[in-house]
Amino acid sequence: GNCKIENVGDEALDMSSCIDSVMTDNLVINSPGAGSGGGGISVGDGSKNVRVINNTVIGSVDNASKTNFGIAVEALNGYISNITVENNFVQDVNGYGINIGAPKGHVEGVLVQNNTVTDCRDGGIHFGGSGQTDDVRLLDNTVSNTAIGIYVEGGNKDQTLIDNCTVDNTTSHGIKIDATSS
C-alpha cells in the first residue's frame, strides 16, 4: 500500500492467483500510459479473498485510442472468489471505471461498495462477460458524468444485487441490464 504509480504501459497494479491479499491506499495516474489496453488495478484468475480498498485511480480519458479501466476484477478463463472493491475513487477513465467480468471464467462473491466513479467515457460500473457470475453485490456506489452509470450484460448472472447506488449525469442509461440469464 501507499504507492504512487504513474504512466505505466499496461496494468499498474496487477494481481493474479493472489490469496488473502489487500491492495490499499495507492495512487495510480495515467495507466495505461502506452499501448492500447490495461488500466489501474486488476484482480485476475486464481485470486481469492482479495480486498481492493481506499485507492485512487486517475486515468487518461483524453486519449481515445486507449481502452482502459480503473479497477477490474476479471476471470478470463479461471475462477475468482470473495473479492471486495471498497472506498475507491476512480476518475477520467476512457473505458469503465470499475469492471467486473467473466469473459470465459467464473466469478463468485464480489462486493463493490462505497466507491465513487466519475468522468469515465464508457461507464461507471460494468458487469459483463459470457462466463458465470454468482453473488455480485453493488452497494452504496456513486457514479457521475459517464455514458452508462451501471451496466450489467451477457452471460449467466446469478444473485446480482444493486442497492442504494446514486447515478447522476449520464449521456445514455442510468442503469442498463442486458443479460442473457439473470
pLDDT tens profile 37-70? 677 899 999 999 999 999 999 986 565 556 678 9
Place of cell 476471470: 75
Of the candidates 21, 25, 22, 34, which has an alpha carbon nearest to the alpha carbon of residue 4? Answer: 25
What are the φ and ψ backbone dihedral angles of 6, each rounded to 5 degrees?
-135, 140
Q: So what's the pLDDT on residue 93?
A: 87
Place of cell 454468482: 134
Q: So what's the pLDDT on residue 73?
A: 93
Q: So what's the pLDDT on residue 37?
A: 65
What are the φ and ψ backbone dihedral angles of 115, each rounded to 5 degrees?
-100, 150
Q: So what's the pLDDT on residue 168?
A: 96
Q: So what's the pLDDT on residue 62?
A: 60
State which residues of the chain have pLDDT below 50. 181-182
pTM, to two decimals: 0.92
